[in-house]
Structure 1
Amino acid sequence: MIALSLAEISQVVDGALHLAGACAPSDLVNGSVQTDSRLIEPGSIFVAKPGAVTDGHLFAPVAAAQGAAVLVVERLLDLPVTQIVVVDAVAALGALASTVVARVRAAGTLKIVAVTGSNGKTTTKNLLRSMLERVGPTVAPRGSFNNQVGAPMTMLEVTDDTRFLVIEMGASSEGAIANLVRLARPDVGIVLTIGLAHAGEFGDLDGTVRAKSEMVTDLLPTDVAVLNADDPRVAQMAAITPARVVRFGQYGQVDVRASDVHSGRTGTTFTLHLADGQSAPVVFPVLGEHHVMNALAAAAAAEVLGVSLRDIVAALQATTRAERWRMEVLGGKDDVTIINDAYNASPDSMSAALKTLAQIGIPGRRTIAVLGEMAELGELAGEEHDRIGLLAVRLNISQMIVVGQRARRMHISTINEGSWDGESAYVDTPDEAFELVRNSVNPGDTVLVKSSNSAGLRFLGDRLGDLFS
């Protein structure tokens, strides 16, 4: 974090400053800001955030013992360390992040780009970071830091030298993205897709559209909205944003597009066309044709921010995987390929993964889909799991292995299709699935492991990858 005095921090978070020992209001703090006491280093700021499972105040003694310079708390604690008492620790974290970013922006050349969408946020964020790092110092989230805590934590990593800040914005409710946009004030806002991911939280697609639209409605006329023209729900946001619109896609009239797209077991090739008329061939090692849209979104934003075509292409060609546990290619022994894509799952991403599996399977060898629950679908869960089961049949996947009671309807849907030449098995646990794959896989087979994070199949994917490595 940039250096701020204790008095400044207290004022920014609207808190009461309680000094300890020889500390003075003018003392400067420039250490990291943490909500996890295990990450505290001497000089850090510890924000004692109440949580659904535990309370950060319980870990404040650990933070103090590890050298925290100041604690941001919701109640004064009996600890020999300077504390700032606030009404809401999460709101205080956001206010501090907003102030830090605003000061760095005012003092230099900081540009901010924010990404949202039902699918592809983390991949797009990673691609953008790779592109922007070729131009100047860039800060981007670790993992999927995209909520009301994670996004401010990323913002607080900027320094006076930071040139680009990439923020991933997720939404657990309507108003969440709007709040993050107000905190960060992005120069570029990207909307990738509108799908059924988290439909249970918003009730229906209309609620999801309203939530994701918050990315562009508060942009300024001098800002840029980067919109997926191939998604009608995203494309219509052009009418509700005051910002300049840059469209990306593979069809129709768009500013940034891909042509000659060909996917295989080693990735995807395509020709990238930028808004300025330049184009270049791209060999994109990330598996799955659906990731081309994420590449286009990142390229569109990077072009807006002044990145050259050469650097954009170089970043894409240097990217070997979307992210840990996202279309991650493992295995290799006996020509067995394991695709571990079990960090997140929605109907859209599950469909895309199955289509990729069908597309890249070796002719004459089997394709095996090990599938778990798609979480957070609410009342739509049953019919969407049915639909995925039917899609596997339509794609002629050789074998389905469905894991866990909440995913069982995929198994039922497949076995009810009498015309299918494949087979489906149901097991309760990842361990059972591991044994089933280990005992049935043949040389040359391609195995997809796909589920929501909560199903825990990402570790099954790792085990299978190790088995065939």
Structure 2
Amino acid sequence: MSQSVGAGSMPMTLEEVVEYVHGRLVGVSPGHESDQRSVRMRVVTDSRQAKPDGLFVAIKGEHVDGHDYVPGLGAKGCRAALVDHLVPGADLPQILVDDTVDALGLLARASIDRRRAASEPFTVIGITGSVGKTTTKDLLSSLLALLGPVVAPVGSFNNEIGLPLTALEVGPDTRYLVAEMGANHLGEIARLTTMVPPDMALVLKVGVAHLGEFGSVDRIAQAKSEIVQGLVPGGTAVLNADDSRVAAMADLASGPVLRFGMAAEDAGPDRSLDGSARYLDSDSLDRPAFELRLPGQQPVRLRLGIPGRHNVMNALAAATVAHALGLDAERIADELGRQRQISPHRMALSSVRLPDASFTLIDDSFNANPDSVRAGLDALAAWKGSDGPVYRIAVLGVMLELGGQGERLHQEIGAYCRRLGIDALVAVGCRDQQMDGLVHALVRGAGGLSGRSEEQPGAMRVLFAQDADQADHMVRRLCAKHPDRQNLVLLKGSHMSGLSGLADRWQG
């Protein structure tokens, strides 16, 4: 769930947990006081992860109710279960609360407050933005690990459940907590900052992800700005100066403001930016290189270990924060160049060897919105290869939560594929009529489905796959038709498309 160095949770007694969540302890044996040991309890919401000295939080989800798994946890050594109704047959104490998700947030806040009260320094860095949160979190975590023990989520644990679970991994020795904060509605990030108030708030970009939920880009910007308003008093805002909506959030900051962005190629030191990049280029594997400039440091040239020109801004954001916390430019450049692995299904490069096809895979299948799909397609188009011409295949699924603009935005992505000169587009449905309508809009934007006749030289091949399984067969056939070229495949789509499962299958 979280990547951590020196983690292990803050020690608490069971009675303290009850107090923090405003609960009622039930199930202590008559004549026996509740366990007063102060231990580092591992808080989990998945009963399969329950271990001795664990605290299980029972959450009722859309398909599964955690309360059903409370009986038997005592035999595993769990100390208690946090519940919103008493569970018959439970073999451990139960802490009864009105809402277990709310209680989880209260417990996280108490744990963070306890860590702040300790004598050793501790810093929380909150990250938000429409795209790039997880990659930036991964890069920043690797940088800060050079300075001290770090706790950060693996993947995108960035909501009202994932964030407190990550925060509860903070232990007495933790120096930095890197926390993602995402939102589908106004007020969600504000709620997250009440659980884990950041000392530094990093805002990457305001895009059109979740446009259907928010209704407008301005409302998305308003939601992202809640992280700046949720800073601890005097906390530092770190803002993308190249995004006007993000830059405007400086007016909401009560403390220092740091700005990062791209500098003009012919510019001298840019005193208005606290982190800047210029002289951008990419190698044959689309790994970008640039000159990094940080205050008080000599400019340093670096090449990222991960592909994608869009990752320059993510790396620059991480570098700006890391430098503000004490890391020098040379160490930042060296560490960013070493990073090859980030969270799964995010611009992950691999070579796929199947019995009937071989290709290089760019797996960016974790999720999709118009901004991130364009970034992935840019990476696909920019790839130069190292052994002759490249045949580029974009395997794209549906983009969700775009509201009434969904069809237009899908059409624009299809047209963008054609403008970039992608060789083949495989548009992947999900056997959902409404969602498949958006995928067909993608096909229309690309110029419509290709006929059964042989493909025309220079023309983009456009195919529709009913699901990921059919997409698998189409990709294999396309690759087999071009044995004289380097086949390059991009996977990009929402969870519903099933493309992350296809990536796992190919790499298994």
| Cross-structure match for 2:23 | 15
Query: How far is the alpha carbon of 1:335 from its aligned partner?
Result: 7.7
| Cross-structure match for 1:399 | 424
Once residues 11 and 462 of structure 1 are traced to their aligned partners in structure 2, the CA distance between those partners, rounded to angstroms, is: 44
Q: Secondary structure of 1:366's partner?
A: strand
Once residues 153 and 53 of structure 1 are traced to their aligned partners in structure 2, the CA distance between those partners, rounded to angstroms, is: 20
| Cross-structure match for 2:189 | 177
Pick the structure with more helix per residue: 1
Query: How far is the alpha carbon of 1:55 from its aligned partner?
Result: 1.5
Question: Are the aligned partners of 2:131 and 2:372 in contact in 1 as well (CA < 8 Å)?
Answer: yes
Q: Secondary structure of 2:71's partner?
A: helix
| Cross-structure match for 2:440 | 408
Once residues 39 and 155 of structure 2 are traced to their aligned partners in structure 1, the CA distance between those partners, rounded to angstroms, is: 26
Once residues 463 and 317 of structure 2 are traced to their aligned partners in structure 1, the CA distance between those partners, rounded to angstroms, is: 38
Coordinate RMSD, CA, aligned: 2.0
Q: Which runs of 5+ in 2 are unaligned?
A: 1-8, 265-271, 430-435, 451-455
Of 392, 395, 400, which aligns to 1:375? Answer: 400
Once residues 269 and 14 of structure 1 are traced to their aligned partners in structure 2, the CA distance between those partners, rounded to angstroms, is: 52
| Cross-structure match for 1:261 | 280
Query: How far is the alpha carbon of 1:395 from its aligned partner?
Result: 0.7
1:385 aligned partner, one-letter code: H
Pair 1:459 & 2:497 matched: no
Question: Are the aligned partners of 2:198 and 2:230 in contact in 1 as well (CA < 8 Å)?
Answer: no
How many matched pairs? Answer: 466
| Cross-structure match for 2:317 | 297
**Any idea what the Cα deviations from partners look like across 1:200-242, whole Å, max 9, x if unmatched?**
2212212211110101023245211111111111111112221
Question: Are the aligned partners of 1:340 and 1:462 in contact in 2 as well (CA < 8 Å)?
Answer: no
Q: Secondary structure of 1:227's partner?
A: strand
| Cross-structure match for 2:98 | 87
Most deviating of 296-305 and 333-342: 333-342
Q: Secondary structure of 2:59's partner?
A: coil
| Cross-structure match for 2:361 | 338
Pair 1:288 & 2:313 matched: no
2:12 aligned partner, one-letter code: L
2:369 aligned partner, one-letter code: S
**Any idea what the Cα deviations from partners look like across 1:34-77, whole Å, max 9, x if unmatched?**
11111000110011112222211111114333221011111122
Question: Are the aligned partners of 1:331 and 1:464 in contact in 2 as well (CA < 8 Å)?
Answer: no
TM-score using structure 1 length: 0.95
Q: CA 1:269–1:62 in 2, change beyond 3 Å: closer, same or farther?
A: farther
Question: Are the aligned partners of 1:129 and 1:166 in contact in 2 as well (CA < 8 Å)?
Answer: yes
Once residues 219 and 36 of structure 1 are traced to their aligned partners in structure 2, the CA distance between those partners, rounded to angstroms, is: 31
Q: CA 1:438–1:215 in 2, change beyond 3 Å: closer, same or farther?
A: same
Query: How far is the alpha carbon of 1:10 from its aligned partner?
Result: 0.9
| Cross-structure match for 2:464 | 426
Of 306, 331, 348, which aligns to 2:371? Answer: 348
TM-score using structure 2 length: 0.88
Most deviating of 20-29 and 110-119: 20-29
Question: Are the aligned partners of 2:443 and 2:449 in contact in 1 as well (CA < 8 Å)?
Answer: no
Once residues 231 and 171 of structure 2 are traced to their aligned partners in structure 1, the CA distance between those partners, rounded to angstroms, is: 24
Most deviating of 328-337 and 28-37: 328-337
Q: Which runs of 5+ in 1 are unaligned?
A: none
**Any idea what the Cα deviations from partners look like across 1:118-157, whole Å, max 9, x if unmatched?**
1111111111110111111110012211000100000000
2:278 aligned partner, one-letter code: S
Question: Are the aligned partners of 1:336 and 1:445 in contact in 2 as well (CA < 8 Å)?
Answer: yes
Q: CA 1:463–1:44 in 2, change beyond 3 Å: closer, same or farther?
A: closer
Q: Secondary structure of 1:71's partner?
A: strand
Query: How far is the alpha carbon of 1:464 from its aligned partner?
Result: 4.1
Of 3, 17, 26, which aligns to 2:11? Answer: 3
Query: How far is the alpha carbon of 1:296 from its aligned partner?
Result: 0.7
2:134 aligned partner, one-letter code: T
Once residues 423 and 21 of structure 2 are traced to their aligned partners in structure 1, the CA distance between those partners, rounded to angstroms, is: 57
1:373 aligned partner, one-letter code: V
Identity %: 39
Once residues 411 and 384 of structure 2 are traced to their aligned partners in structure 1, the CA distance between those partners, rounded to angstroms, is: 23
Once residues 61 and 246 of structure 1 are traced to their aligned partners in structure 2, the CA distance between those partners, rounded to angstroms, is: 51
Once residues 269 and 51 of structure 1 are traced to their aligned partners in structure 2, the CA distance between those partners, rounded to angstroms, is: 44
Once residues 440 and 337 of structure 1 are traced to their aligned partners in structure 2, the CA distance between those partners, rounded to angstroms, is: 13
Q: Secondary structure of 2:157's partner?
A: coil
Once residues 364 and 96 of structure 1 are traced to their aligned partners in structure 2, the CA distance between those partners, rounded to angstroms, is: 56
Query: How far is the alpha carbon of 1:185 from its aligned partner?
Result: 1.6
1:74 aligned partner, one-letter code: D
Q: Secondary structure of 1:94's partner?
A: helix
| Cross-structure match for 2:433 | none
